[in-house]
Structure 1
Amino acid sequence: MTTQFTEIAQRAAADGDVTADEVLALRRQGWGDGIITREEAEAIFAVNNAIDERSQEWCDFVVEAIGEFVLNGTEPRLQCDDSEAEWLIAQVDHDGVCESYVELEVIVRIIERAENVPTRLKDYVIAQVENEVLTGTGPTRHGGELSDTHVSSAEARILRRVVFASGGHGPAAVSRHEAEMLFRLKDATKAEANAPEWDDLFLDGVANFMRGFAFQNAQLDHSRRRGLEEFMADDSANVGRFLGRMAKQVPHVRNHFGKVFGKKDAGPSIADQAATGHEVTDFEQQWLDKMIEGDGEVDDLERRLIARIIEEGE
């Protein structure tokens, strides 16, 4: 790290403010040798922790500089390994909380740009946003949006970017962990005035997760496969009861249940099997049953989800 970079960063931290000229000077010094070093990256985080007001110029610089260090600081490029992810989380979470929106944006942008990131990094962002939704506090809840148990536009956008990012399970491959998070947020906020983006995020995310397992794509890692096997061994979900209830509550879809998830054989429909007590062991049916029965009712979003699955399975 250059002496000039150190002096500029220390002066900004001491003043509690970063001027546009100081941001420009940090850019020149930071990229003067073509790379951002770890010492420079940690100095940037130190300044961000010390200042009260963060200008757009400063936020843009932080996102670019930290992303450059993590993704291009070492070979292979555009990769974020476990040690880099832990370092990044430690910098953001140094006092036990993600304090500013720019810190969250740093991680989200890395997840979007990386060819691969550890699941831990995506899970960290998801946990931060879920906590904000449930408590009404956190880096996305500035400017007056402090009520709890609703999904704001900022939160819906961040979740979509992370859930559908290229890093992690693969482009647009939604994990079980992410799909279950979407169900938890839906159950917690269904009576609230959520942002318009929320409904589509829930439907897109859960439907994508179920399509991924229906087609058995090749993006499952070992831990996810093991988790699936454990879940498949759980016989507590009552598929027959749920589907039997759905056949009564949504009669017009009764004859289509046999086509869900691409099952177009001439055998008895799932609803008919449910009515006769036939055991259904398909993973998607078990998982969907457990998720929908979680709050003891079938709400509007769940009905729309089922209709979408049926339509995509035809």
Structure 2
Amino acid sequence: MTTHFTELAQRAATDGAISPQELLALRQQGWGDGQITREEAEAVFAINHVLTERDDAWTDFMVEAVGEFVLNGTQPRLQCSDEEAEWLIAQVDHDGMVDSMAELETLVRIVERAENTPDKLKNYVLAQIEREVVSGTGPTRCGGELSATHISAAEVRILRRVIFASGGHGPAAVSRFDAELLFRLKDKTLAEENAPEWDDLFLDGVSNFLKGFMLEGAQISHGRATELESFMADTSVNVGRFIARAAQEAPQVANHFGKVFGKRSTAAGYEERAAEGAKVTDFEQDWLEKMVDADGEVDELERRLLARIIDEGD
């Protein structure tokens, strides 16, 4: 089916548009033998590059076709390998950026559906969203909203989907990379009219990183261990300053410090590990101070973050 599919794709792309009849023919050819090959997936990307308009029907088709190749084209299913991640990024990054919502949605859905994806793919998607926020341009801006350094509702939705995706660092597990991205976005957009959903995403994401715990075999385990080792080698953080600031910003810290901040045990049971995970470790405590210090002030979102950590530690 590959030859017929690619020929049909080439014909469909000649005028920069694809009709419903052409899209139906692509579906019939692509799934005629029950699978999408790499050549067919590349043909889909080639069409997307030349389309002048990409409607919902095309986006749905592209998401399904490319996702089918990446997640079900080879064994094991629902896994995205390093090679496939590099291939995906190369297909999208031919012009140096994600330039259509169809491409962005394709990447996000793969990260969402996969049981395991390389960090480079998830981090690539998040980097594109950060670039959009700073520049004010990109597929989530829908050709308008050209004001830079604010976070739109569409960007909040995509960030949440990627950060909490099952194919990321672990099921609903937020990594240090994700949490630091949220802090950078917060610092760059403090004075801007961000979408109302942004505050909850920041608080949910950073709190998850600080108070989450690792399941056996979860994808986060190796990366989180590496983060811990590298961060503890950084002697520039002063824990005392953090404690003093926390006490000033939220006086109840002094009464609840032992409950919320502490060392986690290596208990094997799920309930024990979940309970220990609710404590903020020395490493995470140091990290939080460093992030709060980054912009030289304790802002309202950081106060609310401290309050949430304390409240959830009760």
Structure 2 partner of 1:183: 183
Does 2:255 correspond to 1:255? yes
Q: Bigger CA drift: 231-240 or 155-164?
A: 231-240
Cα deviation digits, residues 174-231 of structure 1 (max 9, x gap): 100110010000111111111111111111110100112xx45443443441231120
Cα deviation digits, residues 5-56 of structure 1 (max 9, x gap): 2232111211110011111110001000110111111011000001110121
Within-5 A mapping of 1:1-314: 1-212=1-212, 215=213, 217-218=215-216, 219=218, 220-261=220-261, 282-314=282-314
Q: Secondary structure at the match of 1:177?
A: helix
Separation in 2 of the partners of 1:232 and 1:28?
Answer: 55
Separation in 2 of the partners of 1:130 and 1:36?
Answer: 32
Unpaired runs of at least 5, structure 1: 264-279
RMSD over equivalenced CA pairs, Å: 1.9
Cα deviation digits, residues 67-98 of structure 1 (max 9, x gap): 00100011111110000000011001112111
Shift of 1:64: 0.4
Shift of 1:156: 0.6
| Mapped contact 2:173–2:209 kept (Cα < 8 A) | yes
| Mapped contact 2:261–2:281 kept (Cα < 8 A) | no
| Mapped contact 2:249–2:303 kept (Cα < 8 A) | no
Q: Bigger CA drift: 137-146 or 71-80?
A: 137-146
Q: Secondary structure at the match of 1:14?
A: coil
Shift of 1:233: 2.0
| Mapped contact 1:150–1:192 kept (Cα < 8 A) | yes
| Mapped contact 1:242–1:293 kept (Cα < 8 A) | no
Cα deviation digits, residues 239-285 of structure 1 (max 9, x gap): 2123213322333443223321468xxxxxxxxxxxxxxxx981121
- AA aligned to 1:151 is I
Unpaired runs of at least 5, structure 2: 264-279
Separation in 2 of the partners of 1:104 and 1:7?
Answer: 25
Q: Bigger CA drift: 28-37 or 228-237?
A: 228-237
Separation in 1 of the partners of 2:234 and 2:214?
Answer: 20
Separation in 1 of the partners of 2:6 and 2:81?
Answer: 27
Separation in 1 of the partners of 2:2 and 2:242?
Answer: 64
Cα deviation digits, residues 128-161 of structure 1 (max 9, x gap): 0001011111111124221111111111111100
Q: Bigger CA drift: 288-297 or 3-12?
A: 3-12
| Mapped contact 2:262–2:282 kept (Cα < 8 A) | no
Structure 2 partner of 1:274: none
Separation in 1 of the partners of 2:59 and 2:67?
Answer: 12
Q: Bigger CA drift: 127-136 or 7-16?
A: 7-16
| Mapped contact 1:261–1:310 kept (Cα < 8 A) | no
Separation in 2 of the partners of 1:143 and 1:95?
Answer: 18
Q: Check 1:56–1:247 CA distance in 2 against 1; reply closer, same or farther (3 A cut).
A: same
| Mapped contact 2:135–2:149 kept (Cα < 8 A) | yes
Q: Secondary structure at the match of 1:251?
A: coil
Q: Bigger CA drift: 41-50 or 218-227?
A: 218-227
Separation in 1 of the partners of 2:227 and 2:3?
Answer: 50
- AA aligned to 1:185 is L
| TM-score, structure 2 as length reference | 0.90
- AA aligned to 2:122 is K
Name the larger-Rg structure. Answer: 1
- AA aligned to 2:27 is R
Corresponding residue pairs, total: 297
| Mapped contact 1:262–1:313 kept (Cα < 8 A) | no
Q: Secondary structure at the match of 1:74?
A: coil
* Ranges of 4+ aligned residues in structure 1 off by more than 6 Å: none
